[in-house]
Amino acid sequence: MVEAILDPTGGRRAVAQGAAVLTPNRLKLAGATIGLLENTKKNAAPFLAELGRLLVERHGAAGVVARTKAAFAMPIPEEQLAELARTCDAVITGVGDCGSCSASAVADGIAFERHGIPAAVICSDAFIVTADAMAGMRDATGYRYVVTPHPVAVLGPDEVRKRAEEALDDVVAILTSVAS
């Protein structure tokens, strides 16, 4: 009798195939409250704060709710997701600039979208493969996120603000429109 070679993966590929699932409820920025979920990585908080400021100043957002994700490598806890979903009309999260935090930022973005909240994930271009792989694992291949050049951690305050400004159009496009 010929024996089969056993599969060590439990029958799962590293990356599943799937389709991007965004909430169809895209956002009108005027009057919206924007959640800023920083992940404790260096420069993440000022990067998101500047995006929030620009959305208020240039797009009429009403204000921001700033929160910190305690464990950058892990998905957002249910309670924190529920709280942000309850108090905000959209969420910006990141910055994904490490192996685990880029993946988990994308997982969070997808979780928000599936909760009916538009979300823009900021991820460094060094981690596109990881971010895309996570989207695949969450059955959301093709998930759109905002790419900022690597590195982020080393930037000074003025450079962070410039970076946020450069990312602004992509953030607005993701939060307000379903089309890619």
What residues make contact with another protein under the rule CB under 8 A?
3-10, 12-15, 40, 42, 71-75, 98-104, 107, 127, 129-130, 133-134, 137-138
Q: Output 26 or 42, the one with its CB closest to another protein.
A: 42
Rounded Cα gap, residues 69 and 62, in angstroms:
23
Q: Which residues neighbour 17 within 8 Å (Cβ) at sequence distance 6 or greater?
A: 136, 141
Q: Which residues neighbour 159 within 8 Å (Cβ) at sequence distance 6 or greater?
A: none
| Distance of closest approach, residue 76 Cβ to another protein, in angstroms | 10
Phi, psi for residue 130 in degrees, rounded to 5? -65, -45
Q: Output 31 or 99, the one with its CB closest to another protein.
A: 99
| Distance of closest approach, residue 137 Cβ to another protein, in angstroms | 6
> Three-state DSSP class for 96?
strand
DSSP string, 51-80: HHHHHHHHH---EEEEEE-S-TTSPPPHHH
| Distance of closest approach, residue 4 Cβ to another protein, in angstroms | 7
Q: Output 54 or 123, the one with its CB closest to another protein.
A: 123
| Distance of closest approach, residue 87 Cβ to another protein, in angstroms | 24
Q: Output 65 or 128, the one with its CB closest to another protein.
A: 128
